Amino acid sequence: MFQSIFSMFDNVVSTMQTLLYVDVVQPFLFKVGWMDYDEDTFDALYWVIVGVLEVLVMYAILRPLEALRPAEKWQDRKGVRVDALYTWIVKLGFLNLFFFFTFQPLFDSFQGWLRLHDISNIELDNLWPGVTSQPIVAFLIYLVVLDFVGYWYHRTEHRIGIWWELHAVHHSQQKMSLWSDDRNHLLDNIMQAGVFATVALAIGVPPSQFVVLVAVTNLMQSVQHANIRVHFGWLGERLLVSPAFHRRHHAIGYGHEGTTYGCNFGVLLPWWDMMFRSVSWNRELEPTGIRDQLAVGAVPGRDYGNGFISQHWLAFKRIAERIASHRATRAPGSDSAIG
């Protein structure tokens, strides 16, 4: 069943890929003299088509739900539109594609070295021959392993000060919507893509399944960030991360405060939060954002930027300020140095 559905989807995307390449992309490459990149461009088209389809499905399903059952009602959608730009950049999958196929030759060489020295390779799909080798079972194993890595990647973003300043671009959105998932600093996206491509290759994820794993993960995270008042019930909440569960992570003063304890770090599965005691089942609707964005008396809140460029630039500025503050506390004669 799973294999037939996947094959049908793959055939549809492959057909669209071929038609688009032959009728549009290849003539353009020939005209500008870039035919040396034709094979790489053809491969990249697959990811682009999957990304476009994903955004269209996401918008068609989630936008009506946001209108019918919003978690919050806003007077306007100002501040939300920039997140759509992030979504198109991330959903097209260029970063994941780049790292996966860049690292592939390195891992092929490494695996050859392992075989030469009679060292067993990591093959999760062969843990239980006849069972884990089934496509759907192998897919679920890969999904769980990558989700476990995602939990710790996400939790670490909140624990390391410099890294938090990059991740704060994501948390500074005070109007969470279906577009908010991909609102991340591009440097953080690059690191994340590198980590997940490395893990995927290390555990033997085939390229075709990697595309689907990324698409499923991205789509589910868009659901979690959508401005919809939805939870999955007692059992469902413990099987998958819901919008209510993840909204708690974005709540001011509850889910994060940068380098201090937070909750609900799970990407797709709440299991890791339950296992490592970072879970909160509270569904009370709380404002989202970062505490220092709020004004204190006559003092305005901290500016995290309203546009794509300003959000990236201010993140680097906060990192510089954090480094300067750390150096100042370590300087001879400071209270910290004396203590």
Q: What integer pLDDT is reported at residue 42 of this predicted model?
A: 82
Q: What is the DSSP secondary structure assignment for residue 251, as one 8-state letter? A: B
How far is 188 from 161, CA to CA, in rounded Å? 13
Which long-range CB contacts under 8 A does 277-282 form with residues at least 24 apart? 278/155, 280/248, 280/254, 280/255, 281/237, 281/245, 282/248, 282/254
Token pair recorded at residue 175: 């109007």
The answer to whether 49 touches 16, Cβ cutoff 8 Å, is yes
- Dihedral over Cα of 48, 53, 57, 59: its sign: positive
203-232 pLDDT per residue, tens: 878 777 787 888 888 889 999 999 998 888
263-316 pLDDT per residue, tens: 999 999 999 999 998 999 988 888 899 998 888 888 888 999 999 999 999 999
End-to-end, the C-alpha distance of the chain in Å comes to: 65
Q: What is the DSSP string of 147-188?
A: HHHHHHHHHHHHHSHHHHHHHHHHHT-SS--TTGGG---HHH
When the pLDDT of each residue in the chain is averaged and rounded to a whole number, the result is 83
**Residue appearing with tokens 């950049």:** 89
- Report, as an integer, the average pLDDT of 187-192: 89
Residue 338 has pLDDT above 50, yes or no: no
Longest alpha-carbon distance in the chain = 70
Residue 131 has pLDDT above 60, yes or no: no
Instruction: Write out the H or E segment, with its range, that includes residue 66.
Output: helix 38-68
Residue 177 has pLDDT above 80, yes or no: yes
pLDDT category, 115, cuts 50, 70, 90?
A: low
Helix axes 94-116, 186-202, angle to 10 degrees: 30
How far is 125 from 204, CA to CA, in rounded Å? 8
Report angle CA 172, 178, 184 to the nearest 5 degrees.
40
Q: Which of 160, 188, 165, 170 has its CA nearest to residue 316?
A: 165
Name the residue with higher pLDDT: 197 or 65.
65
**Lowest mean pLDDT, pick from 118-122, 140-144, 254-258, 335-339:** 335-339
